[in-house]
Structure 1
Amino acid sequence: MPSNECNLFCFHLILLLFLHCSSSFISHALDSETDRLSLLSFKDELTDDPLDVMSSWNDSVRFCEWRGITCSSRRARVTMLSLPFQKLGGTLSPAIANLTFLRAIDLRGNVFRGPIPAEIGRLFRLRSLLLMENSFGGEIPANLSQCTQLEIINLNFNSLIGKIPTELSRLPNLVALHISANQLTGGIPPVLGNISTLLNLSIAQNYLGGTIPDNLGQLVNLQFLQVGSNNLSGTVPLSVFNLSRISIFGVAFNRLVGSLPSSIGTSLPNLKQLLIGVNGFSGNIPSSLSNISSLQIIDLPDNQFVGRVPSDFGRIANLQRVNVGRNLLGRGDSDPLDFINSLINCSKFEMLGIDNNHFSGPLPDKIANLSTNVNRLLLGGNQIPSTIGNLTKLFELRLDGNTLDTNIPSSLANCQQLQLLNLSDNDLSGPVPIQIFTLSSLTVTFNLARNFLSGTLPLDVGNFVNLKELDLSDNELSGSIPHSLGRCLSLEHVYLQCNSLNGSIPSSLSSLKGLQDLDLSRNNLTGSTYLSFCKIFFLQYLNLSYNQFQGQVPKNGAFANRSAVSLVGNGDLCGGSIELELSPCSVPTDPVGRNKSYLKVVITAVSGVFGSAGMLYIAISCILKRSRARSSLAFPSSDWNSNFSYRELEKATSGFSSDNLVGTGSFALVYKGLQSQDRRPIAVKVLKIQEKGTSKIYMAECEALSNIRHRNLVKVLGCCSDVDSAGRDFKAIVLDFMPNGSLEQWLHPEERNVNAVNDLNIFQRLSIAIDVASALEYLHYYCHIPIAHCDVKPGNVLLDDDLCAHLSDFGLAKFLRNRVMYVDKLKAVQLEYEDQLDMLLQV
């Protein structure tokens, strides 16, 4: 070939190679740009990003370096989107389907809502789809069946509805299908039995109904089966009991019937957990279960099993839990509890439940030799041996509803991790060992009700500082109620009725701010009920009947709700609300000699507005009628003991967004928020920590608000003392949100840069005046220690939906413990209120 022709050929060859490479380069560049734009579309659909995850998704770095993104090294295409547990909220953009090289999507543990885009079905390379623990709704897209490489689908804990798509049975590589804890219906599709590759099938906690299809017996590789809590009926197909590779077998909380195959120990040799409680299974518990060396949990409660518990469970070295409670076991057996002796060979054993069967006779002595890991004993029809105290890791002991007829052994005090102790409904006698009252670990229940226990309650009962329920009712206890009970600040339920207790109610009980139920009926208690309950305004149930109480009954707190209180059988009580139907008190027993001073102030001011006595009478009558209607409402329960974290409040206010800022002051900013559990509107008052004196104001407000409850005071939901995301001190008080803002905004909208609102008419102004008067009257005369607000002004009077007024902002409040200070300060407050009232009533 001549040289010039050779040169021309080489030129053309080089040109072709260049064009090919350029075309390939341009194609790759366009594909990469498509991925970048798709990710930005994903970002645009987010509405919540409290952890600022998306801050790295910007043009300062390549998208392959954005947080949560993994790309292929050769093509720079997105292969993984992984942002688990980042608190991201919003909807999932359909543009995600343009990430055609995507192999894994992991968005679990966020707050995504809306439907799962059907466009995901275009991701033919997708192998793993993890969307559990979100709020996705709608149906499961049938298009997922087009993702033929899918191996794992996990949609647990969402709000998905509709049927399980039968199209999923076409996925040739599916290994795990997890769609539990949704709202799915329509039964279990038999075609799921065609997914021969399936290892894990979890469809529990739905509303599927129907029966378990025999086709599931075709899943010969299945290792995990969980179909519990689905309202399933019928029997479990024998073919399913023959799936020899199953390790987790869960069908609990259904309506299944039938018996367990006697050969189960052979047909399920790899079983680790047998979970079939709360059904209608019957027959005997197969003894072949002891052949399964891998077995860890045997959970069969709430069925109709009969006969014996196999006595050779001790051969199962890894056994951790046996629960056969609430069956029909033990009837007619000469030695029904001998199986417990074999369990001492199980070194990992943690829990035994045999309650509510037909067991009888004494517990074997060897129960004390069970593994020291035992933390729960649910026993029935036995006699408690003193050696049970050897089980030092117990955190739950239930022996209620049996025939125990001995003393309570003091050795129970050795169980220093005990959180729940229930020995009620037995024949126990003698005093409660004082050592038991040293169990400060008790947090849930201490229940000795309906026995024959005697003696007194020691001061040591104050050690139960974290206990929620104390029930010693229906015994033969005597002596007084210890004042130390007031140290148990977590108590919510106290039942001491039907004993022989005497003396007065200790005033320290007023410290129990979370108390909801208190029953002291049918004792020999004396004294007054007035001061004992003047600070407990949120009791839902109070029974003081059949004692010897005397004197005036309060009208506030639980006493204001007739359905919440019982006082019968106390002949010397008087006063109280009309609904209690008690005799009027012959001599006023006002503790500080008040004389309706604030109402007089209001009437005097109104008389200057209305020209005639008739009009004045009509106005006051209308307002008082409305006020009395409000008074009949039960006082709201308090959640003061529940502390909020910075993260909770940050989420509730969308990161303390300026859009949610509803008020500012010298020492605080107030944001509107929504509680995550019930979407309840709240007001979050964030203290300006950097301002001098803020900490003192915070402590003063917390002290005041934790001691007061009244319908015309802003309701406190809790407080927060934490650090923010930057590690700085953070303090806030969480209040009920008042949708109509402050009285200041209604009186002077132009000064607050808010939209003008309708003028308040004279009756609304009168109503607000009486509301504030009621709040001040309560603070000054009905609190255990009188409180002066010290900052009564329109800006601190907040209005709810009905324009009912609520006094707020107690940062400058004073506790008036000194009598001289008390009188002088109240005079000053009354003069201040008169000045504010004049301005309010100017029309």
Structure 2
Amino acid sequence: MSSLIFLAIANNSLVGQLPFNIGYTLPNIQGLILSTNNFSGSIPASLLKAYHLRKLYLYNNSFTGFIPSFSSLPNLKELDLSYNKLKAGDWGFISSLSNCSRLTMLMLDGNNLQGNLPSSIGNLSNSLQQFFLRNNKISGPIPPEIGNLEGLSWLYMDYNLFTGKIPPTIGNLYSMVYLSFAQNLLSGEIPDTIGNLVQLSSLKLDWNNFTGKIPGSIGRCTQLQNLNLAHNSLDGSIPRNIFKIYSLTGELDLSHNYFSGGMPEEVGNLINLNKLSISNNRLSGNIPSTLGQCVVLENLEMQSNFFVGSIPQSFVKLVSIKSMDISRNSLHGKISEFLATLSSLEKLNISFNNFYGEVPRGGIFDNADAVSIQGNDHLCTSVPTGGVSLCSPQVDDKKQKHNSLVLVLKIVMPIVVTIIILSCIAKIYWRKRVQGNTHLQIVNEHIKNISYEDIVRATNKFSSANLIGSGSFGTVYKGTLQFKKDQVAIKLQKDQVAIKIFNLNNYGANRSFIAECEALRNVRHRNLVKIITSCSSVDSTGADFKALVFQYMPNGNLEMWLHPEDLEHGERHILTLRQRINIGLDVAFALDYLHNQCASPLIHCDLKPSNILLDLDMVAYVTDFGLSRFVFTASNAYKDSSTSLACLKGSIGYIPPEYGMSEEISTKGDVYSFGVLLLQMITGRSPTDGKFSDGASLHEFVRRAFPDNICEIVDPTMLQHDSNAPEVMKNCVIPMVKIGLSCSMTSPKERPDMGHVSAEILRIKHLASHMDVR
């Protein structure tokens, strides 16, 4: 049909290769729409002889090979090659497209384009309006010549490996409406010329490593609807003029940066904003009451900052709010009753603050799964519920007045006595004050400059009596740090410490030390082991010496509690079901923090029982970050994350199966290790047990018994004190096993996120407390 002008057969199930002579048999074709089929093979060379071709859509097929030259198609206006398996070669096709002076749309996203984007990109048609390069593996800098494409209104270069800075010439693209450089490895400051793009509707620069302040010029982009700068290293205060961009109706995401100072009162100007996220920064002060004016707001994320004060009463106006997270701040006061009246509210997280008093009833508070209040030690409830203590009963008014008088007397009399005593000891205190301050200065100075000799004294010359563990890269001793100042011995810490000494003769030990220092420098969580100081010095022979000093955990690690028979003189430790649930929750909270709440997500890579430490109260702490990897940081970046598997050791039984197939490490790898750990805690069986051979695994062993025969494989010691074992098995053990199985699935896509996991275990913990599980 040589006279055919337009052929559209998109969205079918056609297969095979295009006819090699298609360009000759259809010489008058102007529009060829073949999108969303399953065509394969290369793009026929004859197609490039169809002189009249204006629209070529090959989107979402399986075409392979190099993208050909298009210089023979001067009438081409729209070219969509996205989501195939095409390669760039020497990028010569970009130069050829400069002959297509009518080109308005170029879609190349979702292919296998690699290498540096050539400067010839600046020679494309000034008529080009839409340019998509997302979801490739393009590296190197963004060419400054991109600023020549003044007709662009859509530019998507996200999900690549671009490095360097955004060229200032980006400010020449005055017609730009949608711009995204997200999910790359870009760095440096955001150029001030970004403010020239006054027609911008969406700007996404998230998941890079931008530094410095947000340019004030961004306030000139008065048509912005979406602004996402999350997961960078931006600092300083949040510019007030951002909150004068009244067009912001979609999202404003500034989370996972280093912003400080207070939240500007001008936030109340964004009355049509749908989502506001400022979580995981260093913001402080009170939450501005003007935020209550954002009546269309559906999602509010303010967690992991340093906000103080109470929840503003103006939040009662947030009638559209669906999700509110103000956890991990320093908020205090009673939980506002009006939160129960917000009918749209579906998820509320106020955990780890300083709230006190009775938890409100009604509304969202009647759904335990929708509210997180843990970490507020002074909350109580009038209705029995798991995890929260009952409030004290109310007394009548007369009795209350009497009690108040008694209380006053009890307070006043000791104060009078105290004043007398204080006046007597004031002189003594004053004499010792100077001496005490001098001592503190000495201690603070020494803790930053700990030496090899200090370590020798602390461990009693590395006495075997102080040896408490060993691993691939060194040994761990217990001891008490002390040093001599003017011939006087001064203890640096009253309690014992754990000292990890790296054997630098072992390959990878030095890198492990650096990795652990980098990880512990950037993280802070109640369930992560706390580092006291480090030592990078030389020993008595002049050789390099490196050590880390941690808080000492008197209850050892989880391994010795689960498998004491593996120890030479181990005593039988019994872990109750409640303790196992609490330990599982502690570890889940720690991983959720590492994966979802750090400025750069951190993958632990070696989660196992021996790396879970227990304090006197059996609170669990995750330790040993020697194999950990940050995601999307300038130092390891995308490349390091993928190639690091070659030297990644991990621990047999806990390494996810995809790592054996050379896939990139991911947070889902930690989820797998956690799943194995959870199954191990419930069954008391190690994943390296001799019974698991010939391809068998702990996961398969548990799966075969789940759920009907699960009672036959659980550790019998954990239920020996629970009188109502069948109910406990049904409501606590089986749900815990279900979580362990889902986390240890073979496919990473089938594993849940640690945020979901921690929420599920928290629900089980509340239920266990309500059932009085021991």
Q: TM-score range by the shorter chain?
A: 0.3 to 0.5
TM-score normalised by L of structure 2:
0.46
Identify which of structures 1 and 2 has the higher relative contact order when contacts are C-alpha pairs closer than 8 Å and 6+ apart: 2
TM-score, normalisation: structure 1: 0.42
Bigger fraction of residues in helix? 2
